[in-house]
Amino acid sequence: MKTVKKKAKKVIKKALETNILTSDKFVGRIRKIRGQIVEIEYDESSNLPNFHDILTSPDNPLIRLELYAYKGRNRLFCLSLTQKKWLLRNMPIYSTSQPLVIPAGKSVLGRVFNLFGEPQDNKGPLSRAELIPIYGKSAGISNVVTSSEIIETGIKQIDFFTPFVKGGKIGFVGGAGVGKTVLMTELLRNITYKSQGLAVFAGIGERIREGHELMKALEAAKVIDRVALIFGQMNEHAIIRFRVAWAAATLADYFREHEKKDILFFADNVYRFIQAGSEVSAILGSIPSELGYQATLETEISNFENRLVSTTNGSITSVQTVYVPADELSDVGVAAIISHLDAQVILSRAIASRGYYPPIDALLSSSSTLNKEIVGDYHYQTATSALELLNNHKILARTVAIVGEAELSPYDQKIFQRAKKLINYMTQPFFTTESQSGKKGVTVPKTNTIKDVESIITGKLDNIPPEKFLYIGSLDEAKLTENTT
């Protein structure tokens, strides 16, 4: 043990001689390693680092330890952001005197990188990038602005039932495998394609394959040069997955405040952010809340969401996917996220199993912007009538499942058929799934969607069979009119 300590002191002395360390920097040595928690021992005379400062080693500059807490005399706890095999007991450690930083600026657009600013796209190093700390502050209430300008996505169901405004937050909520990421990728492609702003994508704890597919989809759509992608995938440490959300929010802040741009912020998946925070809390030995989540859950999600706001310099429009464990929408973590969203798009496994994509449940989904003041009387009245029709279909479907459609009254049969046409019409082929589905992707203007829905629910298309409405764009493009036989 004495030999190891002497070796550590020699390394520190050599580092001081070569100017790697200076006499005013914190210097210590690793005392214990417990998973992702590293305990550092230091001398009384050391200059103590600040919380969130990154500590590293003269032996290996790739080692990154984030200061989390102090313990009694001469001890501090760090969260490890590096591989455990690199860490050794009595390894010398010193402070960099700064928190974790990420690259920012125009050079990160079109690039894929990780939490440490290391490129992941085989396109060479990031050049001339400004480094900024990930721990920014939320905008002051006096600087925050709101807007009622609706952003069109070209996706019929979203534009019609759950419109969202510039600077708002929309969430795609659903269980595993119902198409949250596909829907987000399509929306990212559609909006970025016609928008003049910039986009930031945060991959939080999701599959590496999905990140690669997203990069290729953006390249194919020729919009990747206006998107910065930062990933902390599911194979990474919990602390990396937890911090990548902050890093992405910081990058969006930078483009909004310094470049004065309107930003589209995409996060896939925000529930994984909550989950990573729970893992970090368990690693630290914190007492969980009654339902198993970390006691600081509400604070963590609020601190993250409150940074995604619009100011006088620019807007941040946020689109987030929310995984629902066991398809239980009342889950505490899911509810905490949903409370911050302006629009919730609920994806249904039952609808997906019947082959309707996107499998959005319009009756469960909601949007605070679906009101007369924002969307206008025509859109509001049409959407309200459509929801009433879908609700009647849901009630009649139970009877049809038992005795068949022929047993319904003529009026109920007419209502049931119109609802089936509306449900089929709301299916849509996506650009991002052309290779899998074999159907060419389409976008539909909101005005066309409203007009088409009105034609369906008022009976103008009663002579057309429901099958004709599956996976089409607008009725005009599909050449389905009231004169069609």
- On whether both 41 and 73 belong to a single domain, the answer is yes
Domain boundary, last residue among 345, 368, 391: 368
Alpha-carbon 417 to chain mean position: 37
Whether residues 237 and 183 share a domain: the answer is: yes
Which of 38, 109, 23 is closest to 69 using CA atoms?
38
Residues 91 and 135 in one domain: no
42, 64, 99 - which closes a domain? 99
Highest mean pLDDT among 28-32, 229-233, 386-390, 473-477: 386-390
Averaged over 361-385, what is the pLDDT?
93
- 50 and 123, same structural domain? no
Query: What pLDDT score does 85 carry?
Result: 87
**Which residues are CB-contacts of 292 (< 8 A; sequence separation ≥ 6)?**
278
For residues 194 and 112, what is the distance between their CA atoms, to the nearest angstrom?
22
Lowest mean pLDDT among 243-247, 380-384, 400-404, 481-485: 481-485
Q: In this predicted structure, what is the pLDDT of residue 397? A: 92
Residues 310-320, mean pLDDT to the nearest whole number: 91
pLDDT over 50 at 473, yes or no: yes
Residue 46 confidence (pLDDT) above 90: no
Total number of domains in the chain:
3
**Residues 262 and 393 occupy one common structural domain:** no
Choosing from 111, 156, 169, 180, which is the catalytic residue? 180
pLDDT band at 365 (very low <50, low <70, confident <90, very high): very high
pLDDT tens figures, 98-154: 999 999 988 899 999 999 989 988 888 887 778 999 987 776 676 788 888 898 999
Provide the percentage of residues in the chain whose pLDDT is more than 90: 50
Residue 45 pLDDT > 80: no
Q: What is the mean pLDDT of residues 31-51?
A: 86
180 catalytically annotated = yes
> Same structural domain for residues 353 and 423?
no
Residues 315, 353 within the same domain: yes
Confidence band (pLDDT; 50, 70, 90) for 13? Answer: low
pLDDT of the residue at 6: 52
**pTM higher than 0.85:** yes
Quick check: is 484 in a domain? no
pLDDT at 55 over 50: yes
- What CATH number did the domain enclosing 139 receive? 3.40.50.300
3-state SS of 317-371 is EEEEEEECHHHCCCCHHHHHHHCCCCEEEEECHHHHHCCCCCCECCCCCEECCCC
Do 113 and 314 touch, CB atoms closer than 8 A? no
In a domain, 112, yes or no: yes
Single out the residue in 84, 99, 114 at which a domain terminates: 99
Which among 187, 183, 143, 184 is positioned nearest to 307, based on CA atoms? 143
Query: Hey, which of 1-15, 142-156, 349-363 has the most confident mean pLDDT?
Result: 349-363
The reply to whether 194 and 145 lie within a common domain is: yes
Average pLDDT over every residue of 228-239: 89
C-alpha 40: how far from chain center: 35
| From 206, 210, 300, 305, active-site residue | 206
Is-contact 139 250, C-beta < 8 A?
A: no
Annotation says 420 is catalytic: no
Q: For residues 214 and 230, is the Cβ–Cβ distance under 8 A?
A: no
427 vs 139, higher pLDDT: 427
- Exactly one of 25, 75, 106, 207 is catalytic; which is it? 207
Q: How far is Cα 356 from Cα 196, in angstroms, rounded to an integer?
A: 32
Residue 94: domain span: 2-99
User: Whole-number mean pLDDT of the chain?
Assistant: 87
| Residues 76 and 119 both lie in one domain | no
State the amino acid at position 24 in one-letter form.
Answer: D
**How far apart, in Å, are the Cα atoms of 317 and each of 19, 157, 312?**
46, 19, 14
Angle between helices 377-403 and 410-425 (to 10 degrees): 120
In this structure, the answer to whether residues 66 and 25 fall within a common structural domain is yes
Same domain flag for 191 and 259: yes
In a domain, 483, yes or no: no
6 given a catalytic annotation? no
Could you give the angle at which helices 377-403 and 446-457 cross, rounded to 10 degrees? 50
